[in-house]
């Protein structure tokens, strides 16, 4: 498993790990809290996904995401979509899924329950 950030997961951080690179499909898992502090991880995600066509993002280990985290995530998704990527999001808890719907994440990605 390739971890894209060396920052220790703590109360204020998020980890992003590539779980399984497939042919043209990458699977990433977020862990921890997504906030304004997660900007570096989103930049790394955009760079890491250059060679993929389909990106699957797992939020099942995200404990919380605040409004600034959603804004940064939406910016990242827009960049990926403009680059021709298809993004699938799964594992979001009820609160995160509701926040994603309210912020229009579904316009940039396919949300799975």
pLDDT at residue 23, rounded to an integer: 64
pLDDT at residue 84 in the model: 95
Phi–psi pair at 28, nearest 5 degrees: -120, 150
Q: Residue 24 above 80 pLDDT? A: no
Of 16 and 50, the one with more pLDDT: 50
Q: Residues 54-101: pLDDT tens digits?
A: 999 999 999 999 989 999 999 999 999 999 999 999 999 999 999 999
Helix, strand, coil percentages in the chain from 3-state DSSP, rounded to 5: 40, 35, 25
Average pLDDT over residues 26-48: 90
Q: How far is 9 from 33, CA to CA, in rounded Å?
A: 9
Asked whether the beta carbons of 55 and 90 are under 8 A apart, the reply is: no
pLDDT at 6 over 50: no
| Single pTM value for the model | 0.82
Nearest CA-CA partner of 73 in 84, 50, 57: 57
Residues 12-27, mean pLDDT to the nearest whole number: 65
Helix (H) or strand (E) holding 25: strand 25-34
Going by pLDDT thresholds of 50, 70 and 90, the confidence category of residue 113 is confident
How many C-beta atoms lie closer than 10 Å to residue 62's C-beta? Answer: 20
How far, in Å, CA of 106 to CA of 13, rounded? 25
What pLDDT shows up at residue 25? 83
Report CA 66 to chain centroid distance, whole Å: 13
């Amino acid at each position: 498993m390739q971890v894209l950030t060396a920052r220790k997961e703590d109360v204020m951080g998020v980890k992003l790990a590539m779980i399984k690179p497939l042919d043209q499909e990458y699977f990433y898992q977020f862990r921890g809290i997504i906030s304004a502090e997660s900007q570096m991880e989103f930049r790394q995600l955009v760079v890491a996904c250059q060679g993929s066509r389909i990106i699957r993002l797992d939020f099942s280990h995200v404990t919380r995401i605040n409004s600034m985290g959603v804004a940064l995530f939406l910016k990242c998704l827009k960049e990926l979509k403009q680059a021709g990527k298809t993004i699938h999001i799964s594992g979001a808890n009820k609160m995160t899924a509701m926040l994603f719907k309210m912020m229009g994440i579904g316009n940039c990605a396919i949300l799975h329950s």
